Amino acid sequence: MRSLTRAEAAERADLLSVDSYEIDLDLTRDGGFRSTTTIRFRASRPDAGTFVEIKPTTLIAATLNGAPLAPAIVDGNRLPLPALAARNALTVEAEMAYSNTGEGLHRFVDPADGETYLYAMSFLDQAQRIFACFDQPDLKAPVTLSVTAPPGWLVAANGAVATMDGGRHTFVTTRPLATYFVSLIAGPYHARYDEHDGIPIGLYCRRSLAAHLDKEAAELFTVTRQCLDRFHELFGVRYPFGRYDQAFVPEFNAGAMENPGLVALRDDFVFRSAVTEGQREQRAVTIAHEMAHMWFGDLVTMRWWDDLWLNESFAEYLGVRVTAEATRFGGAWTTFAMRRKSTGYIADQRPSTHPVAPEHVPDTAHALLNFDGISYAKGASVLRQLVAWLGDEPVLAGLRAHFEAHRFGNATLADLLAALTKASGRDLTDWADAWLRTAQVNTLRLAPVIVDGRYETVHVVQSAPPSHPALRPHRVGIGLYDAGALRQRVDVDVAGASTAVPALAGVPAADLLLLNDGDLTFAKVRLDAGSAAALPRVLPVLTDPLARALLWAATVDAVRDNELPVADLVALLVTALPAETEAVVVADVLKMSRDLLDRYFDAGQRAAALEHVAQTCGRLLSTAAPGGSLQLAAARGWIGATFDTAGLAGWLDAAGVPDGLIVDADLRWAIRYRQAVLGAIGAAEIEAELATDRSAMGQEWAARCVAARPDPNTKAEAWRLVISDTTRSNRIVGAYAEGFWQPEQADLTESYVERYFSEMPAAARRRTAWVAETVAALAYPRYAVAAATREAAAALLARDDLEPSVRRAVTDADDGLRRALAARSPA
């Protein structure tokens, strides 16, 4: 599908104003669906020409101002529109295809009961797979949707239902929407309804998940109500799109999508098994994040994708903030520091790094690549720093003025900066250049000089990589910790290469100094020598969970950068993790550490390290409260690290299971997955497990297990599915790719390393850009830590015919291997 360029979008926006879309979809046909769209629009230059996007299987008819257009003139996904009038009416009728990629109109048959479900995902430029449109964010227009569906189906969309007659559903005309927000669901969905502050709210899921949604509905409605109230307080602008429905849909690519009036979320959030409080918090943050988009993105939409930060950075920041302020998940900033910011730090150090607000995104294919840890986590961190600098009220006043000025329209970085500058009285030009227009991350270190047990001097030393030498202003806290308690905190405005901290001169030296205490800036932090030496003693008794999260994250990052041996991380895990009380910290430390252990150690060292991890998780299991989040996090950690196949089998038979731990469907699959990796089960056991769990999630787990088995024939079939099978859904292909490579199976999969680099380019061209990037990343030979792997990657990246998605995935994965090779090399 041809990508729209920034230049083309600007030219078309200069020419056109869109007045309305009337979309009629017939979902009762076999094999596909019928789409009929009438677009009414104006042209500033009559007799000029343009094009409309549509990706049909068959273009049946098109008329422009009553004159027919020959279907044969469709050029890929573009229908030329010649000789425009001042006012125009375009009608396009086409046969369209359902997708199995989570884009366009996705069709899913539930393996649990055979029911069919549809949902529309128009992001980023996939609306054209559903209806004819000018598929760019700054040509917004009201949408009137009509849908003909099989009798008995529930149909919901961006607007409320206006009329319903049998299978015919007509929805009220929406406020002006960007095309990538147009959405609907259709099928035998289960629904729950409520109302809050005059706003109707609804929840939808598949019938096979109905009982699980009913159990979760009270919490989902509560979080939704709390977030709505808090956003109204913050912005002074009421939710502007009528209904607020949330649809939990199958095989969704993203975590969620902010369609006005009908937010879509992956139905993994309808929990069917035991979950940790961290997972519940993640769901709450996702709900708040998507709700933030109702103002940042939906009410005021970016003009082009180079201002993506206006959407995602604000939604990320506000999602965490509102969750922490308005819901029971008051520790959301701790999770952000531990989990989300690490994705930003990693992304910002890769060769593919980019500014938070790049000055030029050439086309939609490249825009998709910027939905990463930089646009989300780094952008949110930058905004948190801005609020700390300007103050909350000036920032909120600027945002309210921004909403008022651009209500139901589009805006740019310059527009928002102007509003914030006026509200705060501060010129933000230098701030924007430093934080939004330059890439990469700074490193901050403390340099204390201690004489007779007191600080003589303390400096904050800032550095930047040679490739991106910018030094930024930072507002940071310095925490002085003695044993487990915070004795004092000093706030410092850091500028340049070295900043003195006179407030600490003469102060008794602390056991540990924590730079960026409170986590207000986006910077890598390194401990001074004294604090690093005290860390194994202080970390287990530290009472502040945010401080512990920051120290764990800094340690993992130092190991990732090869500034600290990975063996030191294992030692700290053994010493400090059994004392950890926050399940989210345990889960994230284990996850981040595991990636390093799997790749930074050779096979023998890795096995010994995993034994230490398994024993550490066992100690946590022995002390964790029965049935709690900490116990579940420790159990998952033990399952993933252990080589005790007898113990794994025993848990499946309820033997040796810790009191209070429920070995439910998802935990059983985690055990089966580890058994598959270790060669302890075969196809029969996987099929038997699937027979007890004929669900969509069960199918994904089974695919992951099959691909993980150390069997040559199984590996060959799994590879074929990943590379060439387009009949399987996005999530199933991803599960096969995820399970294929295992550190324990390096010899078995060695021949597939070269095959990845020779076969992935063609494989990516068979798939949509989003799925191609996902598969290219998951299927990368990430455990083939060898110079030959990097040489093959370099040869692939030298080609000029790579899809942007594959180039990005390989570039990033190769950088990870570079670090792993350095860790394994003698000093």
Q: Alpha-carbon distance 570 to 564, whole Å?
A: 11
Is residue 80 within 8 A of residue 8, CB to CB? The reply is no
CB 641 within 8 A of CB 610: yes
C-beta of residue 712 within 8 angstroms of C-beta of residue 720: no
Distance spanning both ends of the chain, measured CA to CA = 48
Kindly state the tokens that stand for 57. 């299987």
Phi, psi of 672, rounded to the nearest 5 degrees:
-60, -35
Rounded CA gap, 190 and 170, in Å? 20
Cα 551 to Cα 278, 547, 557, distances in angstroms: 19, 6, 10
Q: Do 529 and 513 meet the contact criterion of CB atoms below 8 Å apart? A: no
206 contacts 270 by C-beta, under 8 angstroms: no
> Which residues fall within 8 angstroms of residue 208, CB to CB, at 6 or more apart?
110, 112, 113, 115, 695
Distance CA 505, CA 669 (A): 56
Tokens of 741: 């490579």
3-state secondary structure of 77: coil
For residues 205 and 264, the answer to whether their CB atoms sit within 8 Å is no
Reference 288, options 257, 265, 249, 319; nearest CA is 319
504 closest CA partner among 557, 553, 451: 451
Whole-angstrom distance, CA of residue 777 vs CA of residue 801: 18
Note whether 322 and 316 are within 8 A (CB): no
Q: Which of 290, 689, 744, 803 is catalytic?
A: 290
Q: 501 with 458: CB under 8 angstroms?
A: yes
- Half-sphere exposure for 768 (CA within 13 Å, toward CB): 20
> 744 CB contacts (<8 Å, ≥6 apart)?
677, 678, 710
Residue 290 appears among annotated catalytic residues: yes
Tokens of 540: 């287990």
- Backbone φ and ψ for 521, nearest 5 degrees, come out as -120, 170
Q: How many DSSP H helices and E strands does the chain contain?
A: 28, 28
User: Please, how many CA atoms are within 13 Å of residue 599, restricted to the half-sphere of its CB?
Assistant: 25
Quickly list DSSP for 703-740: HHHHHHS--HHHHHHHHHHHHH--SS-HHHHHHHHHHH
CA 275 – CA 789 distance, rounded (Å)? 38
Query: β-pairing, 262-266 with 244-249?
Result: parallel
> Is the CB of residue 423 less than 8 Å from the CB of residue 395?
yes
Which residues are designated catalytic?
290
